[in-house]
Structures are given as C-alpha cells and as structure tokens.
Amino acid sequence: MGTNDEAGGQNRAGDEPEEASTSGDGETTVTEEGSELERSIGLTGGLSIGIGTMIGAGIFVFPGLAAGDAGPAAAASFAIGAVIALLVALPASELATAMPKSGGGYYYISRALGTLPGAVVGISIWLGLVFATAFYLVSFGSYAAALLSEAGVDVAGLPIVGTLALLFGVVLTVVNLVGTENAAKLQNYVVGLLLTILVVFLSYGGLDVLGVFGSESTPEQFLPFGVMPVFTTAALVFTSYLGFAQVATVAGDIKDPGRNLPLAMVGSVLTVAVLYVATIFVATSAFGSGRLATFGETAMVEVARALVGDAGAMAILLGGLLATVSSANASVLSTSRAVFAVSKDALLPTIASRVNLQYGTPHIALSMAGGPVLVLVAFGRVEVLAEVASFLHLVMYGLMCVALIAMRRDEPEWYDPDFQVPAHRAVAGTGAVASFGLIAFMQRESQIIGVAIMIAAAGWYKYYAGDVRLKGAL
C-alpha cells in the first residue's frame, strides 16, 4: 500500500485537493511560490489554547454532575480521563511535529490511513466541535443566569439559561466574523487569571477540608455506587479533556513546533488534570456528593460560598463565565480551521475555505461553526451535548493512535518527527483501545447520535468526493 503518494481525484464540483506543499523552519513556513507564513503563537499561547479550551468544563460544569453519578470516586473518573488523554496526547504530539499544519487530527488520519477514515473524522470532528461549543455555551448560560440571580434579578420561571446561551452564541459568531486583533493575547490573561483564582481557591479549600482551619469534614464512602459509575462518569467528563487536540489544529501558527507542540499538548493535559482531581476532592469533601449533585452545573459556586463566603462565590461565578467564554471561543476558532482543512482537500465544497474580502475572515467556515451551534444550544441538554462531543473526539483520538502505528510502520520519506513517542506500539495501542473503550460506557442516546453522524459523513464522502485520494500526500 501507499504506492500513490500524490493527492488527486476530483469531487462532484470538479475541485481537486489543493497541494500547498511547504517547507520552513521554526519561525515561518514557506509556500511553493516563496511566500512566508509567519508562525506567531509561542509556548504560552499554545498552553493557553489547550488549558483555556479544557478548563471551562471540568471545573465549572462537571463537579456536581459527576459527583451525583459516581460519588467521591468521580475524582478517579477524572484521573482515568487524564490517563487516556495523555496516551493520546503523546502520539498526537509526534504526528503534529511531523506534520505541523492546520487541521490537526483530520490531517494525520487522512494522510496515514486514507481518505475514507480521513473524511469521516474530518466531518465528524467539525460536528464534534460544534457539539462541544454548544455545550460550553449552555454552561455559559448557567453561569450567566446564576450571576443574574446573585445580583437579585428575579429570573425564576423564565428559560433564561437557553436565552443567554443563544444570545452569547450570536455575539461570539459575529465577533469572529468581523475579525479580532488581540483576542489571543486577552485569552492568555484570562487563562492566567483563571489559574490564579483556582490555585488560591483549591489550596484554601484543600487545607480547610483537611481540617487545618476548622473541623475536619466527615469522609464519605469513596465508592457509594460501585465501580461501574466511575467508568460511565469518565466517559461523561472526558469532554473536559477535549482541548489538547485543539492545539494541533493551530499547529501551522505555532513557533518552533518541534518543541512547543508536544510541550503545549502534554503540559495542558497535566495542568488541568491536577486541577480537576483537586476540585472534585475539595467539592465532595465540602458537601458530600448527594448535596453537590442537587446544585447541578454551578455546584462550584455553592462550594466556594461554603468555604470562603460570598466573595468566594462571586470569584467562582466570574471564573465560570470567563472559562466557558474562552472554551467556546477557542472551539469556534478550531471548528473553522477544521472546516478549512477538510475543504482544502476537496472533501467539502471549496467555497468553505474562502476568505471574506471586507473583514479578511473565513466567513463561510465560521458560519459553518456558529450556525449549527445555535441550533444545538436551543436543544440544550448538557449531558448529551457533552457526550456526543466526546464520542466524536474519541473516535478521532483512537484513529490518531492507529495513524501513528501506521506511519511508523510505513515510514514515508517525509516522515521526520522532532518528537518521538517512546514505546510507541504500547502507548498508541493502549491509547486506541482506551479511546474506543470509553465510548462503550456512554449513554445509548449519545452513541446513536455519534454513529449516525459518522455514517452520514461516510455517505457524504462516497457521494461527493469518492474519487479524492489523500493517503501519503503531504
């Protein structure tokens, strides 16, 4: 296999994959015509994309839901998620340093495994990111509603969460369509502020529940519901680890990718994993998982109120707003890049990669991110949104691990990663099995939606771009 190393074939509209073969160093990529493409995101920026995308969900949305399902053992669910994320982040890092291009997972899979898996992943990751964005927006709505009621506005009986989420979804889409200049820098500060709030809060809370400041809280049974819920909860909360692969979708913009991509991906997973586990520990110790579950998405606000008082509650509310905004925004941006990568390869109409003349933004790709998000926000069921997003990402993660094994076996001439996974068969093999395995623990409804999306993607590929060849093409 792999004798045909040229991209080729035509889709229904008669377009061929764009061959933008490039070379370059740590600071620029140089196109065939000799134009320079500046790499402008450093390690801090990369970490901030990864952490900024992930932290919104794990800390500010899931503690209540997860503790309700698994008890204090929800901390173990987050730890399982972290191990799987790391097992995928390592192979993803190697692939990303060998192919530092926009598109991330889709790109590696289409080049290593062929066009059909590539197309299925490319299209379903677009929709997977749409589900994730909708999930972040609904969570934003919960926090905004909580802030309103904190401020004394009476919102009881109104569908305020959905309305706020929709409104903000529209604002976010429009802002991105018009184009931003310094939002990425702002994101760095937001993530820095968030981490500060969390570290202070968790250190204080941790010492408090250990009995340093007051009476030690009564330890609850660690596994009140048995072992099985630990795994189903891990499947649910895996959405909190979806951010690290978003770093790979902007790989084309990362400076010194050989060093910064692996550091940003692995570093952001480790950072958020520690914070998640600590958060669950503090939250379940403060309240007991039964009461925690009744608080729902904004459970952390009540935890903060119990531990630090109203100031703490306000800090966490503010943190939750910032975190869900930064997650939603980072996902919209990754979605548009994912759409660009797929349409460049002629698997979607090439019009999707056009840049708007007035604002200089990829308006069609951005609309393909923002539009469906609004529909899903109206649908509004947080747990299903989160699980479908995880489902579609996990398929990609599993296939990325397979792609790594295939690449190492075929070793095409151009395959020269700066970062190499040690014991790659064991790591990537376990990563693939774990990723696919986690899917089995999801709710039936999420599994059906996920499979339906993948079948639809495969059908679209057969109908629209059955002749397109991508394997081995760089």
Partner 1 sequence: MADERSETPMNTDSRTIREPPRLLIPIEVLEGESISASLVEFLAPAEVVLLGYHDLPEQTPTEQASMQYEEKARTAIDDIADSFRGAGGNVETRIAFTHDRDQTVDRVAAEESVTGLLLPNPVGEIEEVIVPIRGAIDVDRLADLVATLLEDGSRRVTLWGLAEEGDEFDAEAAVEYTRNTLSERGLPDDQVSTEVSVAESPVWDIIERSSEFDVIVMGEGGPGLLTSLFGDPSERIAEGAVAPVLVVRNR
Tokens 């320079």 sit on residue: 36
CB of 102 to partner 1, least distance (A): 5
In degrees and rounded to multiples of 5, residue 349 shows phi and psi of: -55, 135
The nearest distance, CB 36 to partner 1, in angstroms, is 4
Among 176, 233, 239, 240, binds partner 1 (CB under 8 A): 176
Within the chain, how many helices (H) and strands (E) appear? 17, 3
> Is residue 111 near partner 1 by the rule CB under 8 A?
no
Q: In the set 1, 3, 23, 38, which binds partner 1 (CB under 8 A)?
A: 38
- Taking CB under 8 A as the criterion, the residue among 52, 117, 141, 362 binding partner 1 is 362
Evaluate whether 389 touches 373 at the Cβ level (below 8 Å). no
Give me the least distance between CB of 419 and partner 1, in Å please.
22
Which is closer to partner 1, CB of 10 or CB of 31? Answer: 31
Subset of 240-259 contacting partner 1 (CB under 8 A): 250, 252-253
Residue 106 vs 143, nearer CB to partner 1: 106
Q: Is 15 near partner 1 (CB under 8 A)?
A: no
- Rounded Cα–Cα distance for residues 92 and 111 (Å): 14
Read off the DSSP letter of residue 347.
S
- Please say which residue, 324 or 336, places its beta carbon nearer to partner 1: 336
Q: Per-residue contact track with partner 1, 18 to 37, x per CB under 8 A? A: x-x-x----xxx-x-xxxxx
Straight-line distance from the first to the last Cα atom of the chain, in angstroms, rounded to the nearest whole number: 16
CA dist 349 and 461 (Å) reads 11
Interface with partner 1, residue 361, by CB under 8 A: yes
Residues 318-347 that bind partner 1 (CB under 8 A): 333, 336-337, 340, 344
CB of 340 to partner 1, least distance (A): 5
Residue of 315, 305, 252, 268 whose CA lies nearest to 54: 268
Helix (H, G, I), strand (E, B) or coil at 38: strand
| Strand partners of residue 29 | 24, 37
- The answer to whether 106 and 121 are in contact (CB under 8 A) is yes
Nearer to partner 1 by Cβ, of 20 and 207: the residue is 20
For residue 340, how many other CB atoms are within 10 A of its CB? 23
Helix axes 62-70, 257-287, angle to 10 degrees: 60
For the bound state, the minimum distance from the C-beta of residue 336 to partner 1, rounded and expressed in Å, comes to 6
- Given candidates 213, 359, 414, 463, which one binds partner 1 under the rule CB under 8 A? 359
| 3-state SS class at 356 | coil
The Cβ-side half-sphere exposure at 9, using a 13 Å CA radius, reads 20
> How would you write 103-166 as a 3-class SS string?
CCHHHHHHHHHCHHHHHHHHHHHHHHHHHHHHHHHHHHHHHHHHHHHHCCCCCCCCCHHHHHHH
- What's the closest the beta carbon of residue 53 comes to partner 1, in angstroms? 15
Measured from the CB atom, the residue of 18 and 467 that comes closer to partner 1 is 18
Q: Which is nearer to partner 1, 37 or 155 (CB)?
A: 37
Number of residues in contact with partner 1, rule: CB under 8 A? 39
Q: How far is the CB of 34 from partner 1 (least distance, A)?
A: 7
Interface residue with partner 1, options 184, 245, 292, 400 (CB under 8 A): 184
* Site residues for partner 1 per CB under 8 A: 18, 20, 22, 27-29, 31, 33-38, 40, 101-102, 176-177, 179-181, 183-184, 250, 252-253, 333, 336-337, 340, 344, 353-355, 359-362, 366
